[in-house]
Structures are given as structure tokens and as C-alpha cells.
Amino acid sequence: MYENAPCLVGRGIALLDTPRIAWHNKTVMPKVIIHVLPKPTILDAQGRTVQNALHSLGFGGVENVRIGRSIELNLPESFTAETATQAVATMCDKLLANPVTEDYRIEVAA
Amino acid sequence: MNSPLKIGVVMFPGSNCDRDAACAWADDLGLGESVFLWHTETAIPAGIGAVVVPGGFSYGDALRAGAIACFAPIMTEVAAFAKDGGFVLGICNGFQVLCESGLLPGALVRNEQMRFLCRPVNLRVETTDSPFTNRYTPGEVVSIPVAHGEGRYVCSPETLAELHRTESVLFRYCEPDGTVGEKSAANGSQDNIAGIIGGVRRNILGMMPHPERAVLPRLGSEGGAKLWYSLRESLAIAGAEPVFVIA
């Protein structure tokens, strides 16, 4: 399917670059998903606002809405699930989460 | 009076109060010279007595406000400068950067009512025992503008107790008469904290309000002017070696 797509690269438009890489890439890079959430002890203003909106929508029983972020990344294939978790924990401690206000959970997907 | 009266103002991509701070010091108040420190610089030039980490949206507030700026090359130098006792003043985004860097305790999160607050607020000067507030009188109420979306100060109960024990809370949001009520902090800041001081010599100040925007009557208030006069006096007294040692 990809081979039949019109090649635009020669005209300076590399529209299909990303699928081409995925197509030929036989190795699997460990994919990690990091879930960062505000600590329960910190008032999550955004979560509270959304909770109020859910109540307005009729979902009166909804509680403890907290809004964080999830971060996905791929690691070099040399990483195992265990070393990936260790490396990502260091990333979280140093940058991806603020230890004063946020908790994180690491999920190694592949 | 030949002491260093030159301040360095850090410029990150996205800083937008850098020129205001430089202008307040050098032009509006005429206290000395201001030089800019680009974020990629790897040294603070000799002769700079204080460093201002200005307000704005460094690196577009990517991830968290101030989180990326900590890793800019200039911040390694600012951290070393601060640890040596040099005066560092973080305003608004600068406060967020100093907290993210670990130079000051705690963190700044989204305002309680989810709104960007841009207006003058009343601040009570909690202590004049600091290089940044020695020209104020204790309990003085000043009007200084805030402009932030993430200015709610939070920290652990232990940190909060320590801040109070060491008289490290410099400014608190208050009512015009100086009383600090539950609603005085429009952003929901813990204990109405607007600015704190840290460092081995009480030489690092972080505050959300903008003292550089309140230095002349025609700016609406000159409540911030005494902060700059205080800093100038501290620089003049201290020379290269600050003397504000508090255990």
C-alpha cells in the first residue's frame, strides 16, 4: 500500500517519511508511558473545575477528579524492562515530575 | 561607594520582564548598571553583584513553568553564584525557576480559581531582616502588581514550619489594612505566601509579584522601589562579600 503511494520526496515534500521508517524498522524499541498526577495532598484546581463540570452534566457522584499528564517515549533497544524503569525513574525525579507536587507511575509497554 | 552595583538579568527564550527589571534598576531608579545574561552563557561576568531571574514564560512553560529553564547553561552559574552567597532575585517565572532548581523550597502550581491574575495586590512585608527588604518598615503594606497563572505556593508542612521558624517568608498577600485573611491570596497560595527567602546568607529571594513594575508613581505604584533600594544598600555595604548571615 505504501509502495503505491505517490512519491513526493523528489519534489521536496517528505510526507511519507514517517511511515517509511516504521515499515522497515524490524527492531522494537521499548516504549514507556509515564503517568504524572498531582499529589492527593495538593488541591488540583483543574481537576476540581472539571469535577464541577461533570456534576453539571448530571454525573453527580463523580469525586476525586485529578488531572495530570502522560508522557510516552521510546528507549534504545538495548534497554530491558527493568533498566528502562530505572532510567525513566531517574528522568522523572530530575525533570518529568516535580517531587513537591506530583506522583508518577511508569508503565513499560513493550 | 565603589562596591559592585551592577546587576545581571538572565534572558531565557520567552522571558518578558527582563527589560523591565534592567530598566527599573538602571534607568527608572538610577541605582547602577544592568547587563543581560543570555541563557546559553557559561559564566557570570566579574563585577556583577546580583542576578535577577526575570518573569515571563521561559521555554513556553513546557512541561511545568520553570522546569526547562533550570537546565539552561546560565543556571548552573546562577546556582553556584547563589551558593557562594551572591544575591539572586527571582521574580514570577524567576521564582518558579528557583523552586524548580531547588534553590528555594516548595513549588508553584496553578492558581486556585484557574484564572490568570493580572492586577495590583497588597503585600505585607513580614520581615525587614533581609538584603531585599531592609528599607521597608516591618508590617508595611505595599501595592505591587501580580501577573501569573501558576502562582499558588505549596510546600510540605515541615517546609512551611521551617520557613516560619527562620523568618523566611518575606511577603504575604494581605488586605489594604495589612490583615492577612483566608481570601487575601487571590491565587490560593499556602499561608498567603507571596515571596520567600533562602540561601545560606538569606541571599536568594523568590516572589510572584513584580517589584520592577512598581517603581514610579506613573506606573501606578512605587511599592517595589524600596526593594531595589534595599538591594542597592546591601550591595554597597557588602561589597563582594555579603554579610547577612542568619543561622
**Which residues neighbour A57 within 8 Å (Cβ) at sequence distance 6 or greater?**
none
Asked if the structure places residue B243 within a domain, the reply is no
Asked if the structure places residue B115 within a domain, the reply is yes
Diameter of chain A measured on Cα atoms: 58
Q: How many domains does chain B have?
A: 1
Q: Do B107 and A100 touch (CB under 8 A)?
A: yes
pLDDT for B162: 97
Asked if the structure places residue B55 within a domain, the reply is yes
Pairing state between β B117-125 and B141-148: antiparallel
Min distance B110 CA to chain A CA atoms (Å): 7
Residue A109 banded pLDDT, cuts 50, 70, 90: confident
B92 belongs to the catalytic site: yes
A101 contacts chain B (CB < 8 A): yes
Residue B142 banded pLDDT, cuts 50, 70, 90: very high
B206 contacts chain A (CB < 8 A): no
pLDDT in tens, B186-242: 899 999 999 999 999 999 999 999 999 999 999 999 999 999 999 999 998 876 444
Please tell me the distance from the alpha carbon of residue B8 to that of residue B10, in angstroms, as a whole number. Answer: 6
Asked if the structure places residue B38 within a domain, the reply is yes
Which of A43, A46, A101 has the CB atom closest to B107's CB atom? A101
Min distance B81 CA to chain A CA atoms (Å): 21
pLDDT for A2: 44
B118 belongs to the catalytic site: no
Here the cell at position A62 is 463523580
- The least confident of A1-15, B85-99, B102-116 is A1-15
Here the cell at position B151 is 502562582
Please tell me the distance from the alpha carbon of residue A70 to that of residue A72, in angstroms, as a whole number. Answer: 7
Per-residue pLDDT at A12 exceeds 60: no
pTM to 2 decimals? Answer: 0.87
Asked if the structure places residue B244 within a domain, the reply is no
Asked if the structure places residue B43 within a domain, the reply is yes
Instruction: Please count the residues of chain B.
Output: 247
Domains of chain A in sequence order:
28-108 (3.30.1280.10)
pLDDT in tens, B40-84: 999 999 999 999 999 999 999 999 999 999 999 999 999 999 999
pLDDT for A7: 39
Q: Which residue of B has its CA nearest to A45?
A: B112
Asked if the structure places residue B247 within a domain, the reply is no
Here the cell at position A58 is 448530571
Per the structure, the complete domain to which residue B92 belongs is given by 6-238
pLDDT in tens, B214-223: 999 999 999 9
Q: How many C-beta atoms lie closer than 10 Å to residue B240's C-beta? A: 13
CB A87 within 8 A of CB A75: yes
pLDDT for A3: 42
Indicate the residue type of B152.
R
Which of B111, B154, B188 has the CB atom closest to A100's CB atom? B154
B114 contacts chain A (CB < 8 A): yes
Per-residue pLDDT at B38 exceeds 60: yes
Q: Which residue of B has its CA nearest to A93?
A: B100
Residue B93 banded pLDDT, cuts 50, 70, 90: very high
Residues within 8 A of B (CB atoms), A 34-53 only = 38, 42-43, 45-46, 49
pLDDT for A106: 96
Asked if the structure places residue B61 within a domain, the reply is yes
Side-chain half-sphere of B217: how many Cα atoms within 13 Å? 0
pLDDT for B186: 83
Assign residue B233 the CATH number of its domain.
3.40.50.880
pLDDT, chain A, mean? 81
pLDDT for A22: 46
